[in-house]
Structure 1
Amino acid sequence: MTTRLERALTRSAAAAGAPFAVERHDIVEWRSATFAGDRHRLVASATSSERLDRWLARIETLDLAVPGHVIADLKIATCERVGDVTRFRIDGLTVVT
């Protein structure tokens, strides 16, 4: 199942000329005393390029539309390059609005 966050990320990357393939997306429900949402761990890979590097460098400041949610946190947790392939993990937290 593709999530709203996954769709928003793939659209943003494609628009930046840095399409990627999702390999795995783990989601765990998260709750605090006042908020509810999900923690995300998205593992993906793409062809290495300057456009991908620029998109990954901006991940924390991307303005992504995720209907019904606010992105409370988004970061690159790991990133490795092997040959012409970049594999990375995006960690995020979405809060239900």
Structure 2
Amino acid sequence: MALVTARLERALARSAADAGTMLAVERHDVVEWHSATFAGDRHRLFASATSGERLDAWLARVDTLDLAMPGHVIADLKVSACERLGDVTRFRIDGLTVAT
């Protein structure tokens, strides 16, 4: 599970950096998930970044990001909370990764 967690964090950080913003992961909660045919993990990633147009644009398209995670597919990704506190924006990204 730790490997999947690190890969998702790196993929999101790389995507944010490519969009011109840097995110800081503050906490990452993971719970195993299973269906009748798939196994994976549900993620809750709490992060922050400097407020601005680049961050806003990146957050607006988190649900459409095509992130590379060897051995896993990101089946669902969304911003589920976002709060601006002056120059800092804190947000939560929820996601589901499925092992391939």
User: Fold-level match, TM-score > 0.5?
Assistant: yes
1:68 counterpart residue number: 71
Count of residues paired in the alignment: 97
Structure having the higher helix fraction is 2
- Please show how residues 3-22 of structure 1 align to structure 2 within 5 Å: 3-22=6-25
Question: How many Å separate the matches in 2 of 1:8 and 1:20?
Answer: 11
Gaps of 5+ in 2: none
Give percent identity, aligned residues only.
79
1:35 equivalent in alignment to 2:38: yes
| Aligned partner of residue 70 in structure 2, secondary structure | coil
| Aligned partner of residue 3 in structure 1, secondary structure | helix
1:53 equivalent in alignment to 2:47: no
1:82 counterpart residue number: 85
In the alignment, residue 82 of structure 2 is paired with which amino acid?
C
Please report how far the alpha carbon of residue 91 of structure 1 lies from its aligned counterpart in structure 2 after TM superposition: 0.1
Post-superposition, which runs of at least 4 consecutive aligned residues in structure 1 deviate over 3 A?
A: none
Please report how far the alpha carbon of residue 80 of structure 1 lies from its aligned counterpart in structure 2 after TM superposition: 0.4
Gaps of 5+ in 1: none
Q: Which TM-score applies when normalising by structure 2?
A: 0.94
